[in-house]
Amino acid sequence: MNDTLKILLIVAFFIVILWNLGAGLYYMMSDKGRTKRTVNALTRRVAVSVALILLVILAIGMGWIEPHGLGG
C-alpha cells in the first residue's frame, strides 16, 4: 500500500470524525434537546473512531504499517 494512500485514508477518517463532532455541537445548540440528532452524530463519531483504531491495529498486524517508539 502506498504511503500517500495510507496518510490520505487516516486524514479522511479524522475529517469525518471532526465533521460528526461539529454536527453534534451544532445540533446540540440548535435543537436544544428536542431531537436525537445530537446523540446520533456523536454515536457516529464514536463508531468512526473505533473503526479507525481497528483499522490501525489491522494494518499493524498485516504489516502494512510499522509502529515506532517515541522519539523515532
DSSP for residue 64: S
pLDDT, tens digit, for every residue of 47-56? Answer: 999 999 999 9
What are the 10-residue block averages of pLDDT along the chain, 72 residues in total? 86 94 92 88 93 92 85 62
Whether this model's pTM surpasses 0.85: no
Please, which residues have CB within 8 angstroms of residue 1's CB and are 6 or more apart in sequence?
Answer: 64
First to last CA, the chain: 22
For the chain, give percent helix, strand, coil, nearest 5. Answer: 75, 0, 25
> Exposed, middle or buried by CB within 10 Å (0-12, 13-18, 19+), for 20?
buried
